[in-house]
Amino acid sequence: MDTLQDAPARPADGRAEELVRIRNCRQAYHKDSSVDLVVLDNVELTLHSGEIVGLLGRSGSGKSTLLRIVSGLLAPTSGEVSWRGKPLRGPAPGVAMVFQSFALFPWLTVQANVELGLEAKGVGRAERERLAEEAIELIGLGGYENAYPKELSGGMRQRVGLARGLVVHPDLLLMDEPFSALDVLTAENLRTDLIELWAEKRLPVKSLLIVTHNIEEAVLMCDRILVFSSNPGRVAHELKVPFAHPRNRHDFAFRQFVDRIYGLMTKRVQEPTQPDLAPDSAAQLAKKFQALPMLPTNLMAGLMETILAEPYRGRADLPLLATSLQLELDELLPLGETMQLLRFAELEEGDIRLTEAGTAFVLADLDQRKLILRDTLRVNIPLVADIRAVLDDRWNHRARAERFRDELEDHMSPDYARETLQTIIGWGRYAELFDYDEEADQFFLDEDDTPA
């Protein structure tokens, strides 16, 4: 215990030393076509000892990429990364990482997993065992030293992941969505324990950097929050959290702070109205090749029905809606945005409001709903209109999906391209605009849909 208590060299006088400094960082993946896929653009980040910093953003905003750049696992395409004043090359010795998937070695016991980092440093066996036992004890896993990871629950496994990171007494502990693979209660329990250790200065680290998409989690834990915007990833806002630990999430000020971040994260999505754009302008192209999240039509309909019904009556506060539906922001926001894209809803200042078309959709029966969706798709989703136009043109009413996928991939990562196409296929089938033959990877028109 002694060493652990001695270890945190957090200056009590508030004079913090600089650990990480990132300047003008850009990360892009080279594509076969001329356009590079930019994941991070012009990112600045400075980390000091004695603070917990949160990187908050939606999936795909590049925050995990930034975390890997900080850790030295990934070298940025351009920009400067310095660690304690020196340029960073390769994994820095004073940085440890905790993974979303826990990333434990299933063939090693808890003890051996925790010792791994010490072994790499060449620490002697006796010392290794002592340090590992300390870390295991600290993180509340005493007695589990000889268990294998598969014998443990998710929460216990992440504790092992934490102990493995802490045992090397890193200056900086990086946490990549550490609680998002856990159920709500377990996550809360682990967060509380971690913050308690931090507040009591018993964690042998100088600083924590946490990647998360959970706004409440960020406000609960962090001293400073960097809010990311997507496409390309940028630090859109930086906020200082003015509360002392332990924080109460039911506090009025706390709720207000959370609401404010919701507002910030939904504000950006306002887009220029259609007529302003010249056809084939850059903005028009960007709109055509916008990444679409998986949005099954059932889910969309269910959500719209909920918003129209009591108590929301057509307008819902996003944090409230998220809590009552047990959805995370990361799940709810893309839904809202996509509904906005379809002109079924509007997002305004942390609220979602159904439009006339959206209300009409909810009140319609199945056949009418198909018609409404068909109309809005052809008008508002250029890619859908494009596919249908190509199909109408062909004598056999078939077209390779690959070509559309390739076009999409020029504007997004292959994973997003696949997801977007899948969403479009789902919509096309629901609206009976076109069908898709998975085996042949082709779009086609069903007999009934073929124009006369």
With respect to other proteins, which residue has the nearer C-beta, 116 or 320?
116
**Binding test (CB under 8 A) with other proteins, winner from 3, 6, 24, 91:** 91
With respect to other proteins, which residue has the nearer C-beta, 105 or 253?
105
DSSP 250-273: TSHHHHHHHHHHHHHHHHTT----
> Strand 78-83 and strand 86-87: pairing?
antiparallel
- Taking a C-beta distance cutoff of 8 angstroms, is the pair 322, 306 a contact? no
With respect to other proteins, which residue has the nearer C-beta, 97 or 295?
97
Residues 6 or more apart in contact with residue 427 via CB below 8 angstroms: 297, 373, 377, 381, 384, 433
- Taking a C-beta distance cutoff of 8 angstroms, is the pair 235, 228 a contact? yes
Cα 56 to Cα 225, 264, 316, 320, distances in angstroms: 7, 12, 23, 19
Binding to other proteins by CB under 8 A, coded x per residue (else -) over 107-146, reads xx-------xx-xxxx------------------------
Contact between 279 and other proteins by CB under 8 A: the answer reads: no
Contact between 101 and other proteins by CB under 8 A: the answer reads: yes
Hey, what are 239's tokens? 């906020």
Least distance from C-beta 122 to other proteins, angstroms? Answer: 5
With respect to other proteins, which residue has the nearer C-beta, 120 or 286?
120
Contact between 230 and other proteins by CB under 8 A: the answer reads: no
315-317 sheet: strands from edge to edge: 315-317, 351-354, 345-348
Binding to other proteins by CB under 8 A, coded x per residue (else -) over 369-398, reads ------------------------------
Contact between 73 and other proteins by CB under 8 A: the answer reads: yes
Least distance from C-beta 145 to other proteins, angstroms? Answer: 16
Strand, coil or helix: what is 206?
A: coil
Strand, coil or helix: what is 142?
A: coil
**Binding test (CB under 8 A) with other proteins, winner from 23, 89, 245, 249:** 89
Residues 6 or more apart in contact with residue 26 via CB below 8 angstroms: 38, 40, 41, 42, 43, 76, 77, 78, 79
With respect to other proteins, which residue has the nearer C-beta, 91 or 302?
91
Contact between 149 and other proteins by CB under 8 A: the answer reads: yes
Least distance from C-beta 99 to other proteins, angstroms? Answer: 5
**104 closest CA partner among 69, 140, 154:** 154
Contact between 90 and other proteins by CB under 8 A: the answer reads: yes
Per CB under 8 A, contacts with other proteins among 167-226 are 168
Contact between 354 and other proteins by CB under 8 A: the answer reads: no
**Binding test (CB under 8 A) with other proteins, winner from 157, 191, 206, 234:** 157
Contact between 345 and other proteins by CB under 8 A: the answer reads: no
Contact between 106 and other proteins by CB under 8 A: the answer reads: yes
Candidate ranges 99-107, 228-236, 390-398, 411-419; the one touching other proteins (CB under 8 A): 99-107
- Taking a C-beta distance cutoff of 8 angstroms, is the pair 322, 334 a contact? no
Q: How far apart are CA 84 and CA 7, in angstroms?
A: 18
With respect to other proteins, which residue has the nearer C-beta, 89 or 268?
89
- Taking a C-beta distance cutoff of 8 angstroms, is the pair 422, 295 a contact? no
**Binding test (CB under 8 A) with other proteins, winner from 36, 75, 93, 130:** 93
Least distance from C-beta 45 to other proteins, angstroms? Answer: 18
DSSP 169-204: --SEEEEESTTTTS-HHHHHHHHHHHHHHHHTT-SS
> Strand 224-229 and strand 52-56: pairing?
parallel
DSSP state of 150: G
Query: What interhelical angle do 318-325 and 329-341 show, nearest 10?
Result: 120
With respect to other proteins, which residue has the nearer C-beta, 28 or 147?
147
- Taking a C-beta distance cutoff of 8 angstroms, is the pair 39, 62 a contact? yes
Q: Is the peptide bond before 232 cis (omega within 30 degrees of 0)?
A: yes
Contact between 86 and other proteins by CB under 8 A: the answer reads: no
Least distance from C-beta 163 to other proteins, angstroms? Answer: 13
Candidate ranges 17-25, 91-99, 354-362, 370-378; the one touching other proteins (CB under 8 A): 91-99
With respect to other proteins, which residue has the nearer C-beta, 149 or 155?
149
With respect to other proteins, which residue has the nearer C-beta, 105 or 403?
105
Least distance from C-beta 120 to other proteins, angstroms? Answer: 4
Residue 238: strand pairing partners: 226
Residue 176: strand pairing partners: 211
| Number of amino acids touching other proteins (CB under 8 A) | 33
Least distance from C-beta 101 to other proteins, angstroms? Answer: 5
Least distance from C-beta 153 to other proteins, angstroms? Answer: 11
Q: What is the contact surface with other proteins in residues (CB under 8 A)?
A: 68, 71-73, 89-93, 95-97, 99, 101-108, 116-117, 119-122, 148-151, 157, 168
